[in-house]
Structure 1
Amino acid sequence: VSSKEIVQQLIENSTTFRDKTEFAQDKYIKKKKKKYEAVITIVKPSTRILSTMYYAREPGKINHLRYDTLAQMLTLGNVHAGNKMIVMETCAGLVLGAVMERMGGYGTIIQMYPGGGPVRAATSCFGFPKHFFDNLHEFPLSKVESLLSGTFSTEALPSEPEGNALAEEESNGMSHEKQVTEEEPTTDAAMEVNQTEEQETMDISTKDVEFKENKEKEMKENVREKQRKQWERRKKLIETAALLRERNSDGLIVASKFHPTPLLLALLEFVAPSRPFVAYCQYKEPLLECYTRLRERGGVVNLKLSETWLRNYQVLPDRSHPKLTMSGGGGYLLSGITVVLDKDRSDSSPSEAMKMEEPSSKRCKVQDLHC
């Protein structure tokens, strides 16, 4: 039985359907279709679809980041193709995926991550082609301080895995030959004494030898693969550090569960002047503290702390109106533009800064009163 037949049967058996108004009948039919019709639509993943899905099902994984707030972040961060962006987020890779989608595979993205490695669960859901990840770099937050102080260094890179593999094979071959030459006289004597016993145990011994050889080969391959991955990881780390040392990034986006103040103060050092930055937080108080610290530090202009407001509307013929329920809050955004930091002014005392800001006439009156 199809769903249309079920809905038609329900309409025919309903005693109150004919007495309802036209709007009520449409509502009744839609309600029954929604209940009995199973429609599956396959759509291409996008930032809006994934952010809506995460916000509806698992908002804690994306720090309760609403899709309209994410759109504001991309706009305030001036994300476009060809940019060199720094992204620090703990939203399961949703913000990173949104930036990659907006840039379209052109430009450079440096992802800062805490812990042992980046989390990109949502990024993998976008289905980006392979070349999108060619310009994606990653750098741990634990090494940012050493990079800023100039003490950043990696351990000595291991030699290329191919050279190690060849050396291991040669050494293993030489040792195997030595073992064979040493065992020749003993095996000859044993064969003269117990030829019959060796023939019986030959099959078993050959199987054991083959099993051991295969196991040793697997272990060697695993070691080589591990060395190769470590070598590639360290090579990428050095390349990312070189990109950060240039300090010419075109933008900074922070959406983390950590306090935004130390993150912004550290990562703004890698952003070029006259470039935008934006930080997201679920709560207002951490961003207020960050706002105050940035104003005291200087080097930024056009600082704004904002909250996005979203309300859904029902749009239907002759009955369009805002919906009764709406989202309570989508988080807060702190945005601004970097400028060249005046070190002389930042190093001066607060009293000297106040004197510099006071008008000349006011300073004269204050000096006369002291006299």
Structure 2
Amino acid sequence: MTSTATPTPFTTTASPMDANDPPPTLRPYDHFLLHFADSRQIFAQAIPKSRHKSPSCKTYPPCKINKRTYATHNLIGLPYGTVLEVTRDGLLPLPEGQDLLPDEEQVREALLGVTSLDGDAATTTHQSEMITASQDSTLHITPNDNRNIHDTNTSQTLTQQQVTSLLSTGTDGCQIVAALISNSSTFASKTAFSQAKYLKRKQMKYMPRCRIVRVTPESLCSAMHAKDSRRICNLRSDTLGYILSSANVSAGQRVLVMDTAVQGILSAAVTRRMGGYGSVLALFEGQQPSYLEVVQRMNLNVMERQSLKWVGMGEVFGSEEEKRRQVEVLRDESGNILDVEKRDREGIQWPCPLMSHTRNYLLNEVKEERKIKEFLDKRCSRFARKLTRLSMLELREFVASCKERDENGNSVDSAVDTTMENDSTTNSIPRGIKPNGNSGTTNPIRQCDSIIIATKYDPTITILRLLPYLAPSCPFVIFHEFLEPLLETFRTLQNYGTQGDNSDPSMPMMCRRNIAINLRLTDTWFREYQVLEGRTHPNMTMSQNGGYLLMGTKLCPKTGTNEMDPETVRMLRAKMGPTRRPKKGGKEKGGEKKDGSGGNDKRKSGGEDDAKQEAKKAKTSS
């Protein structure tokens, strides 16, 4: 039964674009992705035409495709989703409505004008009719089959030298595909499915097309996973979305991210989702972050870049002795700590006026308006970074304000590293306040709202060292490529505080408090399907694993108990009396009513009965 009702068109009214919304078109210096029909994904950047490599060089910064370089200055201003055709002259935008695979009508038209090498025009016409029939032969059985086709490498009469000569002379890719079909001795005897596969394969090779795609956390993760999944520990886009949802990442939060194993994808994704509202503390190892290029590909705006704060691992995992040694170097002759970076930043005037020598250089030596604009743009970016970048001392104070403190105001150390000494001069302060030795002000303590970990280090030690920076009742997520390390972490967090085993000298004294609840160890199942009429099946060349996740919620370190200890239960029972279930008819055991009359006497009698029972048990045991 078929329905004759026609669906009403869906119309939307255009709304003014918000300032934080990504632009609909490609801007200068924006990073973007090129998606090809053969599932290739290439990163590129839209660089204007005025950016020469050198005054004598006439080429521009390229985009490399198939061992050839292409300029991207002509792509600026194009909307995302535009299909480009890769030609000898460059990347040419196609009209709206074109797809990555060319229309087969073009191949049929070109095939009718091409004859095989033996001059048999009837064969060419028959092959064109076979291509036409292959579009409508998705369900019915065709008389052709592949039983008599043998791979002897002699079915194609067109040699490689002839194909190369066609490419060198600038022959259209559609004509090359038509020539390959007309000179194939087995194309007419193939099934419709085989012909469609053959045509698609030749179109992707000799008629390459690509689509401009915006760089988002999902597309960034998919492109890096397709290029080399081992470099990002098999992190898939579905796992990335699961991590962001489980960590409850939203605007206005303070998130601690340690993603040294996934090339900074998590830091970029968290920063993009928060939209510049809040703070992202991204831990890195070494002198500087090694994955800044990945973050730059996200095209973050000024607010988003300012919310991302890079923190060295030494600020979290380093010893206090090393931190004090770094601070002592900054003391001046009078003994005060001098923050040089902050002093220079406060001395900058905005907008920054040009000095006399800079003005003379631009007017007398540069002179060209284009080069003057480039010089001023670089100068503006340099001063903007100085104004928004925190100094080492300010960043250290910001990180210290995220750490949990005890009742005396001392910072809570890690549960694993028991050799770290606390600095009494900086930790003995009122609870909730961190002094600022440079400005004389105070920073209120605010712990992180979530923690995301993706590292190749031991996840157990890492999460125990980072838990003091997480606020109670807030989630944490740990990603790892393998299951076994997370199993050990799961058991440690589950049994922490419930055992009294202190045989391991590396582990601290266990207490009754639990540190995490709602622990979940999961993995995601993701499979891509080919959905065609009569040919629906899963993709046979997919990765089997996208990593494992350990999620949980931190408990308050002072009241974080899953159940009351026996001493507390006995104290409450002695104070409140035993619980009595009411009998049917509205009366309790012993004739007491529901309205509470005689309740005090009942509690007393209940307490006396318990005392008699305990005395009787003691007498029996003796």
TM (normalized to structure 2)? 0.43
From 96, 103, 123, the equivalent of 2:267 is 96
From 467, 488, 496, the equivalent of 1:289 is 488
Instruction: State the SS of the aligned residue for 2:534.
Output: coil
In the other structure, the counterpart of 1:306 is 522
Which AA in structure 2 matches 1:327? S
After the TM superposition, which residues 49-128 of structure 1 pair with which residues of structure 2 at under 5 Å, given as runs? Answer: 49-90=219-260, 91-119=262-290, 120-128=292-300
1:58/1:368 CA distance change after superposition, 3 Å: farther
The answer to whether the Cα contact below 8 Å between 1:138 and 1:240 also exists between their aligned partners in 2 is no
Of 50-59 and 93-102, more deviation after overlay is shown by 50-59
Alignment partners' CA distance in 1, 2:346 and 2:303: 29
In the other structure, the counterpart of 2:191 is 21
The answer to whether the Cα contact below 8 Å between 1:279 and 1:335 also exists between their aligned partners in 2 is yes
Which AA in structure 1 matches 2:339? P
CA-CA distance at 1:2 after TM superposition: 0.8
CA-CA distance at 1:287 after TM superposition: 0.8
**1:61-102 superposed Cα distances (whole Å, 9 cap, x missing partner):** 323322222221112111122222111110221111111122
Which AA in structure 1 matches 2:529? Y
Q: Does 1:138 align with 2:314?
A: no
The answer to whether the Cα contact below 8 Å between 1:52 and 1:67 also exists between their aligned partners in 2 is yes
Alignment partners' CA distance in 2, 1:238 and 1:99: 22
In our comparison, the structure showing a higher alpha carbon Rg is 2
TM (normalized to structure 1)? 0.69
Which AA in structure 2 matches 1:70? L
**1:287-335 superposed Cα distances (whole Å, 9 cap, x missing partner):** 1111111112222111011122222211122211112232121211100
Alignment partners' CA distance in 2, 1:8 and 1:344: 73
CA-CA distance at 1:279 after TM superposition: 0.1
Alignment partners' CA distance in 1, 2:270 and 2:177: 45
Q: Does 1:158 align with 2:357?
A: no
1:325/1:247 CA distance change after superposition, 3 Å: same
The answer to whether the Cα contact below 8 Å between 1:93 and 1:121 also exists between their aligned partners in 2 is no
In the other structure, the counterpart of 2:117 is none
Q: Does 1:12 align with 2:228?
A: no
The answer to whether the Cα contact below 8 Å between 2:402 and 2:469 also exists between their aligned partners in 1 is no
Percent of aligned positions that are identical = 32
1:272/1:45 CA distance change after superposition, 3 Å: same
Alignment partners' CA distance in 2, 1:333 and 1:121: 26
Alignment partners' CA distance in 2, 1:66 and 1:107: 26
Alignment partners' CA distance in 1, 2:567 and 2:186: 82
**1:102-146 superposed Cα distances (whole Å, 9 cap, x missing partner):** 222222111122333333331111121222111122323323257
Alignment partners' CA distance in 2, 1:77 and 1:339: 15
CA-CA distance at 1:336 after TM superposition: 1.0
From 468, 474, 478, the equivalent of 1:269 is 468
The answer to whether the Cα contact below 8 Å between 2:524 and 2:546 also exists between their aligned partners in 1 is yes
Alignment partners' CA distance in 2, 1:26 and 1:88: 47
The answer to whether the Cα contact below 8 Å between 1:63 and 1:257 also exists between their aligned partners in 2 is no
Instruction: State the SS of the aligned residue for 1:95.
Output: helix
The answer to whether the Cα contact below 8 Å between 1:314 and 1:321 also exists between their aligned partners in 2 is yes
The answer to whether the Cα contact below 8 Å between 2:450 and 2:470 also exists between their aligned partners in 1 is yes
Q: Does 1:256 align with 2:428?
A: no
Alignment partners' CA distance in 1, 2:618 and 2:282: 53
Alignment partners' CA distance in 2, 1:24 and 1:344: 65
Q: Does 1:278 align with 2:515?
A: no
Which AA in structure 2 matches 1:8? A
Instruction: State the SS of the aligned residue for 1:108.
Output: strand
Please tell me the root mean square deviation across aligned C-alpha atoms, in Å: 3.7
Which AA in structure 2 matches 1:336? G
Higher relative contact order (CA 8 A, sep 6+): 1
Q: Which runs of 5+ in 1 are unaligned?
A: 165-224, 356-363
The answer to whether the Cα contact below 8 Å between 1:310 and 1:326 also exists between their aligned partners in 2 is no
From 395, 407, 422, the equivalent of 1:236 is 395
Of 298-307 and 237-246, more deviation after overlay is shown by 237-246
The answer to whether the Cα contact below 8 Å between 2:315 and 2:399 also exists between their aligned partners in 1 is no
**1:215-259 superposed Cα distances (whole Å, 9 cap, x missing partner):** xxxxxxxxxx9xx89983333332343344624321110001111
In the other structure, the counterpart of 2:545 is 329
Alignment partners' CA distance in 2, 1:369 and 1:13: 104
CA-CA distance at 1:285 after TM superposition: 1.5
1:45/1:152 CA distance change after superposition, 3 Å: same
Instruction: State the SS of the aligned residue for 1:65.
Output: coil
1:71/1:369 CA distance change after superposition, 3 Å: farther
The answer to whether the Cα contact below 8 Å between 2:479 and 2:549 also exists between their aligned partners in 1 is yes
1:82/1:367 CA distance change after superposition, 3 Å: farther
Which AA in structure 2 matches 1:141? M
Aligned pair count? 298
Which is richer in helix? 1
